[in-house]
Amino acid sequence: MLAMAAIASNYIHYLGAALLVGRVLHAAFFKQGVKSVPRGIGAGITGLVVAISSIWLLTIYFYGSGSR
């Protein structure tokens, strides 16, 4: 959706890379249990990327695109 809103591709790549790092951290330390710090960091990064993307899209929807 960010690509359809004409957001610069480098921002989309940064968000994708952060999402990948977060998911890999979360998966790599999954067997260590719920209290694993890297697993929590990975989940936090994932949530942060989802939140940033969502807020960015809502901002574009209500206020117009800022990168055109």
* pTM, two decimal places: 0.81
- Taking CA atoms, 14 is separated from 9, 35, 37, 48, 55, in Å, by 9, 28, 23, 13, 16
Mean pLDDT of the chain: 87
Name the H helices within the chain. 9-28, 37-63
Asked if residues 38 and 29 have their Cβ atoms less than 8 Å apart, the reply is: yes
* pLDDT of 23 over the 90 cut: yes
* Residue 24 pLDDT: 93
